[in-house]
Structure 1
Amino acid sequence: MSEEFVLDTMRAERVGFGEAVYCASKTVSQIAAILQAAASPMLLTRLDPAAHEALPASLRATLDYDPQSRTAFSGAPKPVEATSGIAIVTAGTSDLAVAAEAARSLRFNGHDVPVIADVGVAGLWRLMRRLEELRRMRVLIVAAGMDAALPSVIGGLVPGAIIAVPTSVGYGVAAGGQAALNAILASCAPGIVTVNIDNGYGAACAALRIINMR
């Protein structure tokens, strides 16, 4: 039988951040085998609580697991840098799971970043009272579902890089995040970039690429 996985041990040297293991489509035995083979700290994403609980107790004991973000640290994350210049913003409380995935991915890579939650455009005063704080950031990850208006609004108010994360939050024609994605792609605020729907990990990696270029 051929190998089921091959660890990318040189990724950090190539791109500035290490390999992450996407667990959602893997069996518990595959995840366990990967953890046993890993020779360095590793980030696990989309590790559902049921899959985490099904891992052997000896492996679970080695993990720093967060059920909200469905991420786990295998081994110690990088030491926290004094200043990161990154912040995460959410339109609503329902977007927090995606924001948590981004925040944990950044923390694993040495950046402990603030999460500014529930500042969507339905109550614009909530955003405006944090505006000076947001303007000091080099990179903002903005998670929003429904019509995803928040990245466009922030993009017209702050000078830093905006990485939008459309989320699958919303009723009916929100279509599991498709409306949010299309709205961000059609934004009239120039220079906004976007990642895929609910992809907090991808947004964190984009932020790391920007910060690592300094």
Structure 2
Amino acid sequence: MTNDENLRHLLESVAKGNISSDRAFEKLKNLAYEPVGEFAKIDCDRELRTGFPEVIWGQGKTPEQITQIMQMMREKNPVVMATRINPDVYSLLQPKVRGLQYYELARICAISPQKIEPKYYGTISIISAGTADLPIAEEAAVTAELCGFKVQRLWDVGVAGIHRLLNNRHVIESASVLIVVAGMEGALPSVVAGLADCPVIAVPTSIGYGASFGGLAPLLTMLNSCAAGIGVVNIDNGFGAAVLAGQILRTAEKLRLASSQEWG
């Protein structure tokens, strides 16, 4: 059946009493999508299912495709985000998309309120080893902020000058979740995890000399870490690290609310 036919069948089932409204709501979360031309199908209810709306992967899409997708998504979401948008692409999008904001270092375009207040408990602290890792670290930071999380940044504290990290222990100690971004040999997440009492998400970057193999060396270092409590995302995946950190905090919040209801 087509999406329209599925929806009609579901509504008829509710009307006949064959299915409860709660069960229908659960099914609706997996039904809705809207086509954009012949090149995209927007997952309208992803936020209902996962807690986060669909985000546009900008790399490889034409400015016209991104424009049409953003215009469609803004009708249903207070925040619409596109990642991996280079400045030249943004210059073509900006006149066509009203209210578009650009975070150049993070390479993110967004339609969003001018100021987004955190709507979840906890702090996501993001630590980068070097200045060259900042595009990936900022991708994580901006993603987390646009999704409604409080973010704390600490840049350029790699292991080559470990005193820089140790002089900022408060950033580690005050974090609810840590995202640690590093290229070269990728040792920083192991050091941070040895100091932290919260989950650590390691992000390997493609920054480094030839033997780092475009990020493979730090990826393997992070996967082989002797420090416990580290999860590793893919090379240069600041976006994925932010979403994972957000899911950890959202799960903690659900458990906190469930506990308060149980004991209240």
- Using the size of structure 2 for normalisation, the TM-score is 0.77
Q: Unaligned regions of 5+ residues in structure 1, if any?
A: none
Letter in 1 for 2:46: R
Mapping for residues 72-91 of structure 1, pairs under 5 Å: 72-76=109-113, 78-81=116-119, 84-91=122-129
Q: Which amino acid aligns with 1:170?
A: G
Given candidates 131, 149, 152, the residue that maps to 2:190 is 152
Q: Name the counterpart of 1:43.
A: 81
Measured in 2, the distance between the counterparts of 1:132 and 1:189 equals: 20
Cα displacement string for residues 112-165 of structure 1 (whole angstroms, at most 9, x for unaligned residues) = 311100111101111111113312211000000000000011111111100000
Query: Identical aligned pairs, as a percentage?
Result: 40
Indicate yes or no: 2:89 matched with 1:54.
Answer: no
Aligned to 2:12: none
CA distance in 2, matches of 1:91, 1:19: 29
Partner of 2:65: 30
Structure 1 residues 83 and 129: alpha-carbon distance in aligned structure 2, compared to 1, 3 A threshold:
farther
Find runs of 4+ consecutive structure 1 residues off by over 4 angstroms: none
Q: Which residue of 2 aligns with 1:189?
A: 227
Alpha-carbon contact 1:92-1:120 (below 8 Å) kept: yes
Residue range with higher mean Cα deviation, 129-138 or 147-156? 129-138
Higher relative contact order (CA 8 A, sep 6+): 1
User: More deviation in 72-81 or 199-208?
Assistant: 72-81
Residue aligning to 2:250:
212
Aligned to 2:54: 19
Alpha-carbon shift at residue 70 of structure 1 (Å): 0.5
Query: Is 76-85 or 39-48 further displaced after alignment?
Result: 76-85
Question: Which of 1 and 2 has greater Rg?
Answer: 2
Match of 1:139 among 167, 177, 190: 177
Retained in 2: the 8 A contact 1:103–1:112? Answer: no
| 1:96 alignment partner in structure 2 | 134
Q: Which whole-Å CA distance do the structure 2 matches of 1:82 and 1:205 have between them?
A: 13
2:216 aligned residue: 178
Measure how far apart 1:78 and its partner are: 4.8
Are the structure 2 counterparts of residues 206 and 108 from structure 1 closer, same or farther at C-alpha, using a change threshold of 3 Å? same
TM-aligned CA deviation for residue 178 of structure 1: 0.7
**Deviation readout 1:33-81 (Å, 9 max, x if unpaired):** 112212123111001111111226131x421111110001123375324
Report SS of the residue matched to 2:102.
Answer: strand
Compute the displacement of 1:11 (Å): 1.1
Q: How many residues align?
A: 213
> How many Å apart are 1:83 and its aligned residue?
5.1
Alignment partners' CA distance in 2, 1:138 and 1:107: 15
Aligned-pair CA distance for 1:99: 0.7
Deviations 1:166-195 (A, max 9, x none): 011111101111101011011111221111
Counterpart contact for 2:149–2:246, Cα < 8 Å: no
Deviation digits for residues 68-112 of structure 1, max 9, x if unmatched?
100011233753247532100001111111111001101111123
Q: Normalized against structure 1, the TM-score is what?
A: 0.94
Q: Which residue matches 1:63?
A: 100
Maintained 8 Å contact 1:44/1:74: no
Give 3-state SS (helix, strand or coil) of 2:150's partner: coil
Matched residue SS, 1:89? strand
Higher helix share: 2
